[in-house]
Amino acid sequence: MLQRNIRLLFLLIKVLLVYTREFDDQVQYQISWKEPFKQKLNPDDQNVFIQTNDNEQYQCIVPDAKDEYQDDAYIEGYQSPEALFQNLFFSSTAICSLKLEPYWTYQLCHGYSITQYHEESYTDEGVTKLHRVSEFNLGVFSPEERLEFKKKASLPVLEKEKMVPKQKFNDQEAPYFLIEMSHGDPCDLTGEPRRTSVFYICHQSADNELLSIKEVTTCHYEVIVLTSVLCLNPNYKIKTKTVHEIKCHALGDSPSKPMKLTSEYKQLFPSVAPIVTEQPLHRAKAKPNIDLDINRRFLNGEFCLTGGTGWWQYEFCNGKFVNQFHVEANRRTATIRLGSWNKEEHIKWFKSKKNVSKERKHVVHLYTGGDFCDLIGEPRKAFVYLMCRPGNGQELIISMLEEKSCQYKVTVESPILCQFIENVDKFGLFTSIK
């Protein structure tokens, strides 16, 4: 019975409690059943003998997990967060990240301020423009705080700063670097200035992305930013839990694995064959199942990719335009042109680029001449990152980041793009499909 096997596992756990010097339920173990024991025993490991109700005997090697308790030791010799964030916080122009929600847009200008606003569009002499109808400053990083932050970049890390704080992120303890932004607009409910706590968390593939924002108490906000910059200091990397393998070796004529465990596995999962090898399975990679007519229509800009969640959504029509739009009652009530296709402008920009990668992981297209931006006095423009996403059909991920005022980074990932990316010309433009 399965209950007997569970008792067997509990017996092994009880033995561990006796034999190990420390026990922590956060330490993870995995039991694997092996052939008879042939190698030498590591003196730091525990040697445990168990016997089932069917007199099957096993010698189990329990690894020493003491390193698990020393995982938080500070690693010396790396730049402090203040030093790592100098380029992000003190760029010649503010580097800002956006988070778009159903009504509100949040703009965090790193090292400067965070703003919450809502925009509505209007037409002026045939030109679509945006007007902020409501706006709140949620906190600023004052000039005095910026000066102090810059000074700390050249100072050694203090002992108290070596205790890197952590918080739960994706069910893991994540180290973070905290920036407090205060002195925002007065709160209607408390009369006190609004303030925001900005938590920077290491993520290797993130580009200073605003993951979440929430109001934890009245007019006090918490923001989580994912950034690869912080990963340059290993003390701020999320440490993965080690799964320690307990190897149980059969003794004498005992089977490699207790018979009842094997038989009951077959009873519970009759359609699944027992795992007899740890070698990875190799499967042929199938090309995405995409209609050839969709390929043709996409190249001609007749089949547009649409996506995004929240108040704003995005539309990309290859060789035509990039739009940002809002849908209400199943119809578009606002549309902003982020950029239009101009082949000559793209080629001119592409030629000016240095160290262009020859790898065909993605291509970047420049769309210019978007709707006029009052903030910079120029038309909007968008850099469209077109990336191959493994899959089938018309799956799509599309996202937008306003890297500078009215300059956008639009990322489009779809299986539709895979074949095109393999066949681009010297200017990164799509050609025919093989």
Question: Closest by alpha carbon to 399, among 382, 388, 414, 412?
Answer: 412
d(CA 258, CA 57): 9
pLDDT at residue 84 in the model: 93
pLDDT at residue 287 in the model: 41
| pLDDT tier at 220, thresholds 50, 70, 90 | very high
| pLDDT tier at 2, thresholds 50, 70, 90 | very low
User: Between these two residues, 365 and 272, which has the higher pLDDT value?
Assistant: 365
> Averaged over 234-256, what is the pLDDT?
83
pLDDT at 231 over 70: yes
pLDDT at 115 over 90: yes
pLDDT at 268 over 50: no
Region label for 393, one of left (φ > 0), alpha (ψ between -120 and 50) or beta (otherwise) = left
* DSSP 8-class letter at 73: P
pLDDT at residue 371 in the model: 92
User: Between these two residues, 137 and 267, which has the higher pLDDT value?
Assistant: 137
pLDDT at 193 over 50: yes
pLDDT at residue 406 in the model: 84
d(CA 401, CA 105): 12
128 neighbors 335 (Cβ within 8 angstroms): yes
> Averaged over 86-93, what is the pLDDT?
90
Contacts of 186 (CB under 8 A, 6+ apart): 192, 193, 194
Sheet architecture: strand order including 46-51? 28-34, 243-250, 57-62, 46-51
> Averaged over 313-324, what is the pLDDT?
88
pLDDT at residue 357 in the model: 53
| pLDDT tier at 21, thresholds 50, 70, 90 | very low
pLDDT at residue 198 in the model: 96
Instruction: Identify the structural domains of the chain with CATH numbers, from first to last.
Output: 26-65+242-257 (no CATH), 81-232 (2.70.130.10), 292-422 (2.70.130.10)
d(CA 270, CA 46): 36
d(CA 57, CA 254): 6
pLDDT at residue 270 in the model: 47
pLDDT at residue 102 in the model: 65
pLDDT at 356 over 60: no
Question: Could you tell me what percent of the chain has a pLDDT over 90?
Answer: 24
pLDDT at residue 110 in the model: 94
Residue 153 token pair: 């970049």
pTM value > 0.75: no
| pLDDT tier at 320, thresholds 50, 70, 90 | very high
pLDDT at residue 283 in the model: 32
Q: What integer best gives the mean pLDDT of the chain?
A: 78
**Looking at the DSSP assignment, which residues form a beta bridge with residue 223?**
198, 213
Question: Closest by alpha carbon to 176, among 74, 78, 81, 63?
Answer: 81
Residue type, 42: N
9 neighbors 31 (Cβ within 8 angstroms): yes
Question: Closest by alpha carbon to 2, among 380, 369, 180, 268?
Answer: 268
User: Between these two residues, 22 and 209, which has the higher pLDDT value?
Assistant: 209
pLDDT at 5 over 60: no
pLDDT at residue 286 in the model: 37
pLDDT at 308 over 70: no
pLDDT at residue 395 in the model: 61
pLDDT at residue 6 in the model: 46
> Averaged over 105-113, what is the pLDDT?
92
| pLDDT tier at 267, thresholds 50, 70, 90 | low
pLDDT at residue 138 in the model: 96
